[in-house]
Amino acid sequence: MATITAIRDPADPRLDDYRDLTVADRRPDRPGGRGIVIAEGVVVVRRLIDSPYPVRSLLGVPRRLAELAEDLAPLDVPAYEADADTMATTVGFHLNRGVLAVADRAAAPDVAALARTARVLAVCEGVNDHENLGSLFRNAAALGVDGILLGPRCSDPLYRRSVRVSMGHVLRVPFTTLPEPWPESLGVLRDAGLRIAALTPAADAVPLSGAGLSGERVALLVGAEGPGLSAAALRAADLRVRIPMASGVDSLNVATAAAVAFHAVAPSVT
């Protein structure tokens, strides 16, 4: 069982992993960041505990730690009990969810191995908004996507905000970074038998419903809000597909567009 210890001093060094979470240099995706995973709230903490990421400790108010009692039973890690004011002073903001957990990162899967076994993958280029990336992971988990590959200029999916917005699903959907050079590295997906489809609003792209991708093994390329996929990524795809839209609307949020595409191509989820 996790060892629960009451802490009332926000300067206690045992809380260093939780300190000043709003400061930029504490972010794991920045130089000097701590390279740890932070989960917020009971639901996300539970998903962290059930994930491959090794939990280091927890920090929470008594009520939230009590809710997690069964989940903590098999863990041999410290759980720090604090009041709301101590938590707020430590982390730098008031935490409505009442509990945090910190874990070390897990090893990323091998790109080629993931491609060989996947039916549907998402490939991101330039998706640098943490909330969009977290939403994309949540959609991928809901719609049966087997993994996400990160191309250039993508945010770190394990940044605290991405983990929170994904509702912890970033901890269960396998992901890794495609190696340079980009987009030549997409060839490993084609070699594994995946058809590469680039999502674009271009009028001359094939409508998604008529692209013949349902039930196929496919890698869906998605780009950032605004610029979309680069010309090089579009050229590297086997085909370009679009989501038909009503007149006067030319694009969707990247996570929304990805969800529509996931639903169209992924095996049925029951």
Whether 143 and 245 share a structural domain: yes
pLDDT tens profile 9-54 = 999 999 999 998 877 444 554 444 557 899 999 999 999 999 999 9
Is the model's pLDDT at 266 over the cut of 50? yes
Whether 43 and 126 share a structural domain: no
Backbone angles phi, psi at 11, to 5 degrees: -85, 0
Backbone angles phi, psi at 258, to 5 degrees: -60, -40
Domain boundary among 78, 104, 130: 104
- For residues 56 and 103, is the Cβ–Cβ distance under 8 A? yes
Whether 130 and 222 share a structural domain: yes
Can you give the residue range of the structural domain that contains 20? Answer: 3-104
The domain tally of the chain equals 2
Within a domain: 184:
yes
pLDDT at 31: 46
pLDDT tens profile 87-116 = 999 999 988 899 999 999 999 999 999 999
pLDDT tens profile 196-255 = 999 999 999 999 999 999 889 999 999 998 889 999 999 999 999 999 999 888 788 999
CATH, residue 194: 3.40.1280.10
Whether 151 and 25 share a structural domain: no
Within a domain: 252:
yes
Whether 21 and 80 share a structural domain: yes
Residue position matching structure tokens 């997409």: 186
Nearest 5 degrees, angle CA 193-CA 194-CA 200?
Answer: 155
Q: Which two tokens stand for residue 2?
A: 């996790």
DSSP 215: T
Whether 100 and 136 share a structural domain: no
pLDDT at 24: 47
3-class DSSP state of 87: helix
Whether 98 and 117 share a structural domain: no
Whether 151 and 260 share a structural domain: yes
| Helices and strands in the chain, H and E counts | 10, 12
CA distance 80 to 171: 23
Domain boundary among 51, 84, 104: 104
Domain boundary among 60, 86, 104: 104
